[in-house]
Amino acid sequence: MTAADLPEMAAIEGIHTAVAASATGYEGRPDMLLMRFDPGTIAAGVFTRSSCPAAPVRWSKARIAAGDAPLGLVFNAGNANCYTGPAGHELVRKSAERAAGQFGCAPENILVLSTGRIGVPLAEDVIFASIDDMAGRLAPGGFQQAAHAMMTTDTRPKAATRTLELGGTTVTLHGLAKGTLMIAPNMATTINLLLTDAAVDREDLQEMLGDAAARSYNLISVDETTSTNDSMLAFATGTAGNPPLSEGDKRSLRRALRDLTMDMTELMLADAKADGKILRVDVSGASGNASARRIARSVTRSLLVRRMVAREALGDPGKSSVGQVLAAVGGSTEMIDPDRVEIRIGGAVVLSQGAVIQDIPKAATDNVASDDVAIAIDCAIGAGTGTMRTVLEKGE
């Protein structure tokens, strides 16, 4: 995919970018990104919940927690700088110092992100030379090139954009992401940058970002592996000049951020899908939304359900394939009404009042044979709803 295949992404006042082909991760293509943010920019972040996070995550998470003013970002692809011991942490600090020296600020004003191979040391002289080189070439815009530089196992760059009105002022939102593998909730594996010229309070931006992650990245999985390097950072320059946000404006911005991150998850799932399938599980009638999400995840994680879908085995004589879905629901240990539960596949009822429909409707078998499989479960106990989407290899 070329830059022409990405959406048009207007420059955002207050953000300058440059990319470099450092060969620390990949030969013959950009694999590093440098961003400079004008003073007044604020940042928010959501990170992996892994108890063994990579060195860049630990640094950047501390910067976000401390509320340090973000003036720059150093990103490298192809090497995660993870599980590289004290040297890895030292490289993060030195990389921040190098960029800070170029920007005339403190190292704490620089965020650092890495993604790629685990356990492989990075050559600091190449990283530093690339930072110096990029600092001399920073320019407004360049977001399409940035998306390319962020790629690892991705087969295509991922970017999305939206505009909205806040207080009568048009503001822009851009999203850049990478990710196809090691995707699981907590949060779904990705490096994601959300960029906007909206003027918004840092606390509000942090709350909105957390909400967006919960409703998008934390509702997808591919290989059920939580990454060491998950990071989603949002930067708001405030240069659009919109007035202080009303409650209605806050709702609009929250919704736009949520929609933008949903766009990014669609791109990641489509890339991970390749010639496989996407399974979507929608749960309703649960005791609460959190319970519904746990039920949906229990179904997407079930090996028997995954095999049923991947092998298109719905309705095979003697295999009670549909029953495996209800078994996975019960395996969640969440409250349901087993005598009133209903399951639909492709919109057709395949299980009703706790009993499998013996003559499986054609709409259900056709849906399981498609590349986008939809299972809907009504737990018949409350008003809770939840969704999970996952990618399956055909025949797995």
Separation of alpha carbons 30 and 152, rounded Å: 11
Tokens of 305: 């359900």
- Give phi and psi for 353, each to the nearest 5: 50, 40
The β-bridge partners of 209 are: none
Is residue 387 within 8 A of residue 299, CB to CB? The reply is: no
Separation of alpha carbons 205 and 367, rounded Å: 40
Q: Report pLDDT for 313.
A: 78
Separation of alpha carbons 142 and 155, rounded Å: 20
Q: Is 189 a catalytic residue?
A: yes
Residue 301 C-alpha from the chain's centroid: 19
CATH number, domain 3-273, options 3.10.105.10, 3.60.70.12, 3.30.70.2500, 3.90.1860.10: 3.60.70.12
Q: Report pLDDT for 3.
A: 46
Would the CATH topology of 3-273 be identical to that of 277-392? no
Three-state DSSP string of the chain: CCHHHCCCCCCCCCEEEEEECCCCCCCCCCCEEEEEECCCCEEEEEECCCCCCCHHHHHHHHHHHHCCCCCEEEEEEEECCCCCHHHHHHHHHHHHHHHHHHHCCCHHHEEEEEEEECCCCCCHHHHHHHHHHHHCCCEECCHHHHHHHCCCCCCCCEEEEEEEEECCEEEEEEEEEECCCCCCCCCCCCEEEEEECCCCCHHHHHHHHHHHHHCCHHHEECCCCCCCCCEEEEEECCCCCCCCCCHHHHHHHHHHHHHHHHHHHHHHHHHHHCCCEEEEEEEEEECCHHHHHHHHHHHHHCHHHHHHHHCCCCCCCCCCHHHHHHHHHHHCCCCCCCCCCEEEECCEEEEECCEECCCCCHHHHHHHCCCEEEEEEECCCCCEEEEEEEEECCCC
Closest Cα to residue 116, out of 229, 270, 30, 22?
229
Is residue 271 within 8 A of residue 180, CB to CB? The reply is: yes
pLDDT by residue for the chain (396 residues), tens only, comes to 444 478 999 999 999 999 999 998 888 899 999 999 999 999 999 998 888 899 999 999 999 999 999 999 999 999 999 999 999 999 999 999 999 999 999 999 999 999 988 899 999 999 999 999 999 999 999 999 999 999 988 888 999 999 999 999 999 999 999 876 656 666 656 789 999 999 999 999 999 999 999 888 888 877 666 778 889 999 999 999 999 999 999 999 999 999 999 999 888 888 877 768 899 999 999 999 999 999 999 999 898 898 888 888 786 655 567 888 999 999 999 999 999 999 999 999 999 998 988 888 999 999 999 999 999 999 999 999 999 999 887 656
CATH number, domain 277-392, options 3.10.20.340, 3.20.20.140, 3.40.50.2020, 3.10.50.30: 3.10.20.340
Q: Report pLDDT for 178.
A: 87
pTM reported for the whole predicted model: 0.88
| CA dist 110 → 72, 125, 249 (Å) | 5, 18, 30
Q: Report pLDDT for 2.
A: 46
Domain ranges of the chain: 3-273, 277-392
Strand-by-strand arrangement of the 42-47 sheet:
42-47, 231-236, 191-196, 169-178, 158-166
Closest Cα to residue 374, out of 317, 293, 309?
309
Residue with tokens 């293509």: 29
Q: Report pLDDT for 179.
A: 74
Q: What is the CA radius of gyration of the chain?
A: 23
Q: Pick the catalytic residue: 189, 261, 265, 387?
A: 189
Separation of alpha carbons 114 and 268, rounded Å: 18
